[in-house]
Amino acid sequence: MVGLPAVGWSGLGEAERDLVTSAEVLLGAPRHLGLVPEVEGQERHAWPSPLRPQLPGFLDAYSDRRVVALASGDPLVAGIGSTLVDLLGTDAVRVHPAVSSVALAGARMGWDAATFDVVRIASEGAQEVRPLLAPGRRLVALSRDAGTPAAIAGVLGEAGFGLSVVTVLGDLGTPAETRRESLAATGVDGEVPALNVVCVACATDQPEADGSPVPGLPDDAYENDGQLSKRVVRAAALAHLRPSGDELLWDLGAGAGSVAIEWCRAVRGSRAIAVERDGERAARITRNARHLGVPGLQVISGVNADALTWLPAPDAVFVGGGADTNLLHTVLSMIKPGGRLVVHAVTVETETLLLDLHASLGGELARLSVESLGPLGRFRGWVPARPVVQWSLVTPSADGTRQEDPAR
**Packing angle, helices 258-266 and 279-291, rounded to 10:** 30
Residue 318 has pLDDT above 80, yes or no: yes
CA distances from 147 to 139, 142, 184 (A): 17, 12, 14
> Which range has the worst mean pLDDT, 246-260, 290-304, 370-384?
290-304
Residue 345 has pLDDT above 90, yes or no: yes
The β-bridge partners of 392 are 342, 364
Question: Mean pLDDT across the stretch 320-341?
Answer: 92
Kind of pairing between the strands at 340-345 and 138-142: unpaired
The whole-angstrom distance between residue 4's C-alpha and the CA centroid of its chain comes to 26
**Looking at the domain that runs over 2-99, which CATH code has it been given?**
3.40.1010.10
228-284 pLDDT per residue, tens: 999 999 999 999 999 998 899 999 999 999 999 999 999 988 999 999 988 999 999
pLDDT of residue 397: 82
Mean pLDDT of the chain: 91
What is the residue extent of each domain of the chain? Answer: 2-99, 102-201, 219-394
pLDDT of residue 408: 60
pLDDT of residue 18: 96
Residue 95 has pLDDT above 90, yes or no: yes
191-226 pLDDT per residue, tens: 899 999 999 999 998 876 666 778 899 999 899 998
pLDDT of residue 33: 94
pLDDT of residue 405: 65
CATH superfamily of 102-201: Tetrapyrrole methylase, C-terminal domain (3.30.950.10)
Q: Confidence band (pLDDT; 50, 70, 90) for 3?
A: very high
CATH superfamily of 219-394: Vaccinia Virus protein VP39 (3.40.50.150)
Q: Which long-range contacts (CB under 8 A, 24 or more apart) does 321-330 make?
A: 321/227, 321/252, 321/253, 321/255, 322/252, 322/253, 322/277, 323/253, 323/350, 323/353, 323/354, 324/350, 324/353, 325/353, 327/252, 327/303, 328/353, 328/357, 329/305, 330/305
Q: Which residues, at least 6 apart from 400, have a Cβ–Cβ distance to it below 8 Å?
A: none
pLDDT of residue 52: 84
112-143 pLDDT per residue, tens: 999 999 999 988 899 899 888 988 999 999 99
pTM here? 0.75
Does residue 11 come out as left (phi exceeding 0), alpha (psi in the -120 to 50 range) or beta? alpha
Residue 149 has pLDDT above 80, yes or no: yes
Q: Confidence band (pLDDT; 50, 70, 90) for 296?
A: confident
Question: Mean pLDDT across the stretch 364-383?
Answer: 94
Q: Which of 293, 336, 294 is nearest to 317 (CA)?
A: 336
Q: Which of 56, 63, 65 is nearest to 25 (CA)?
A: 65
Query: By three-state DSSP, how is residue 43 classified?
Result: strand
What percent of the chain shows pLDDT beyond 70?
95
pLDDT of residue 150: 96
